């Protein structure tokens, strides 16, 4: 790895041993963690700003934190760790802003049933995270007489599944349902979708040479794929025209293959059930809570999360969020004490809601968050997940199980600090065995 402090090539023991810049691998690792988290937080902040939410303190912190990673500024590992934790505090505020902005713009969230699969008629698929883009597409489709006459439908993909929980979006008759899973399956799923695809944020893949959807892929603002079409000034008219011209997603004579799924267990909806939840906990009917989710990836090892969720006992509740939900949601978990055992809290940024649930339960049970019968089993992959992890550490959450493997930018000595101070531990190789270990220790 190139050292941006002294312009030397990769080193194993640090430039301090070379007598050049004094930058150690631990310092370099903490700087990388901070930079990745800042990128993730900036993505959340960009979404929040589009919803009218800004915060001058957060903006000032981003400047200061980037300044701290410049050449010859900070060689103090402890000071950089403190800044990482401060980044976690700032990210908590950004996630709150984003949560509030979604509710103010799109209405009260509520659990809802979503139709999955492709229906007859032309369609547009919207992928990514930006709910404002989805809203604008729906508004423009509804205002287009040709689109209405053609029966043009709009589908969510990936992390936009939770958008269905907002009242103003559900009110759009053009919001037909959801299609597809997590980001790593895009190439196969987008090939099968016969209409235009709008990529609103990160987690978009470059098509392979064998894929046939590049001419139907549209990007905008920060997103970009070589050869894709561009949406300019939020004008989705050309996307709508292409969708109408391409015709029905389901060919004549072919059957629609549809199913229904539940989503939208926003923390406000869960807390509305707090009396029943507390009664179940105090009465021994509800023994444990698991938060299983985060950022998904393509590794085979991520099947661990499916095994862990399916191994959770019937007297437990499983909360999930982020695209990691796609590892665990295709299973019938049933109910416990009259409540769904699987609660889809939303997007990765809805980690804020999971924290609100945990803190409310702790207050009601007169204990600390770390004293709750709660286990966090988190999958991480990219920058937003790093920002959320720092938020959890800022709040002092202990015992997080993290996987499926250690990112290259986390130095072993930095990991040891997190293990010693926060009890972070890697996931095992057997999800069901780890469930038993968690319950035995609780």
Binned at pLDDT 50, 70 and 90, residue 129 comes out as: very high
Binned at pLDDT 50, 70 and 90, residue 45 comes out as: very high
Q: Has residue 281 got a pLDDT over 80?
A: yes
Q: What is the pLDDT of residue 1?
A: 42
Q: What is the pLDDT of residue 339?
A: 87
The residue that leads in pLDDT, 109 or 3, is 109
N- to C-terminal Cα distance for the chain? Answer: 42
Q: Which residues are annotated as a binding site for [4Fe-4S] cluster?
A: 3, 6, 15, 21
Q: Has residue 3 got a pLDDT over 60?
A: no
Q: What is the pLDDT of residue 299?
A: 75
Mean pLDDT of 286-294: 93
Q: Residues with Cβ < 8 Å from 95, sequence gap 6 or more?
A: 44, 349, 350, 351, 352, 388, 391
Mean pLDDT of 338-359: 91
Q: Has residue 104 got a pLDDT over 50?
A: yes
Q: Which residues are annotated as a binding site?
A: 3, 6, 15, 21, 129, 159, 203, 295, 323, 348, 382, 384
The residue that leads in pLDDT, 434 or 5, is 434
Q: What is the pLDDT of residue 177?
A: 96
Residue range 264-441 in CATH 3.40.50.2300: no
**pLDDT digit string (tens) for 296-305?**
887 777 889 9
Q: What is the pLDDT of residue 302?
A: 83
Q: What's the mean pLDDT when you consider all of the chain?
A: 91
Query: Could you give the 3-state DSSP secondary structure of residue 429?
Result: coil
Mean pLDDT of 101-124: 96
Percentage of the chain lying above the pLDDT 90 cut: 79
Q: What is the pLDDT of residue 23?
A: 67
Q: What is the pLDDT of residue 5?
A: 47
Q: What are the residues facing 112 on neighbouring strands?
A: 263
In CATH, what is the architecture of 112-260?
Answer: 3-Layer(aba) Sandwich (3.40)
DSSP string, 316-372: EEEEEESGGGGGTSSS---EETTEESEEEEESGGGHHHHHHHHHHHHHHTTS-GGGS
Measured in whole angstroms, how far is the alpha carbon of residue 306 from the centre of its chain? 17
In CATH, what is the architecture of 15-106?
Answer: Up-down Bundle (1.20)
Q: What is the pLDDT of residue 396?
A: 93
Percentage of the chain lying above the pLDDT 70 cut: 95
Count of CB atoms within 10 A of residue 340's CB? Answer: 17
Instruction: Please report, for residues 36, 277, 290, the alpha-carbon distance to residue 274 in angstroms, rounded to integers and kept in the order given.
Output: 36, 5, 16
Q: What is the pLDDT of residue 14?
A: 45
Angle at 162 between CA 300 and CA 167, to 5 degrees: 170
Q: Has residue 17 got a pLDDT over 70?
A: no
Lowest mean pLDDT among 12-21, 95-104, 329-338, 372-381: 12-21
Highest mean pLDDT among 54-68, 294-308, 324-338: 54-68
The answer to whether 103 and 163 are in contact (CB under 8 A) is no
Domain ranges of the chain: 15-106, 112-260, 264-441
**Domains 112-260 and 264-441 in one fold:** yes
**pLDDT digit string (tens) for 217-260?**
999 999 999 999 999 999 999 999 999 999 999 988 887 889 99
Q: Residues with Cβ < 8 Å from 322, sequence gap 6 or more?
A: 159, 293, 294, 295, 296, 347, 348, 351, 379, 385
Q: Which residues are annotated as a binding site for hybrid [4Fe-2O-2S] cluster?
A: 129, 159, 203, 295, 323, 348, 382, 384
The answer to whether 90 and 41 are in contact (CB under 8 A) is yes
**pLDDT digit string (tens) for 156-187?**
999 999 999 999 999 999 999 999 998 889 99
């Amino acid at each position: 790895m190139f050292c941006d402090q002294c312009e030397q090539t990769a080193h194993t023991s640090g430039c301090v041993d070379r007598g050049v810049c004094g930058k150690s691998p631990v310092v370099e690792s903490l700087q990388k963690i901070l930079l990745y988290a800042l990128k993730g937080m900036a993505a959340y902040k960009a979404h929040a700003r589009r919803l009218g939410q800004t915060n001058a303190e957060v903006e000032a912190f981003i400047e200061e934190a980037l300044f701290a990673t410049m050449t010859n500024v900070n060689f103090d590992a402890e000071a950089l760790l403190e800044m990482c934790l401060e980044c976690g505090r700032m990210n908590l505020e950004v996630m709150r802003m984003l949560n509030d902005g979604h509710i103010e713009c799109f209405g009260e969230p509520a659990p809802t049933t979503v139709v999955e699969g492709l229906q007859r008629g032309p369609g547009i698929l919207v992928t990514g995270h930006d709910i404002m883009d989805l809203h604008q597409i729906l508004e423009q489709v509804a205002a287009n007489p040709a689109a209405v006459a053609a029966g043009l439908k709009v589908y969510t993909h990936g992390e936009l599944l939770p958008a269905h929980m907002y009242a103003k979006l559900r009110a759009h008759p053009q919001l037909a349902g959801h299609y597809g899973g997590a980001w790593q399956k895009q190439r196969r799923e987008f090939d099968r979708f016969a209409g235009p695809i709008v990529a609103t944020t990160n987690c978009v893949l470059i098509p392979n040479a064998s894929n046939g959807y590049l001419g139907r892929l549209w990007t905008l603002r920060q997103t970009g794929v070589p050869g894709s079409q561009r949406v300019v000034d939020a004008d989705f008219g050309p996307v709508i025209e292409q969708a109408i011209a391409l015709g029905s997603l389901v060919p004549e004579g072919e059957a629609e293959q549809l199913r229904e799924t539940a989503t939208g267990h926003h923390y406000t909806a869960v807390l509305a059930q707090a009396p029943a939840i507390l009664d179940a906990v105090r009465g021994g009917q509800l023994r444990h809570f698991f938060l299983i989710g985060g950022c998904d990836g393509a590794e085979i090892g991520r099947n661990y999360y499916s095994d862990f969720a399916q191994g959770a006992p019937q007297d437990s509740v499983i909360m999930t969020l982020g695209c990691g939900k796609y590892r665990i949601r295709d299973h019938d978990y049933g109910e416990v004490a009259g409540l769904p055992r699987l609660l889809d809290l939303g997007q990765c940024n809805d980690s804020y809601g999971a924290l609100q649930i945990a803190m409310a339960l702790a207050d009601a049970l007169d204990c600390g968050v770390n004293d709750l019968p709660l286990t966090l089993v988190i999958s991480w992959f990219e920058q937003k997940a790093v920002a959320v992890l720092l938020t959890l550490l800022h709040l002092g959450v202990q015992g997080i199980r993290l996987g499926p493997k250690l990112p290259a930018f986390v130095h072993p000595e930095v990991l040891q600090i997190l293990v010693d101070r926060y009890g972070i531990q890697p996931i095992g190789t057997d999800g069901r065995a780890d469930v038993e270990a968690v319950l035995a220790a609780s």
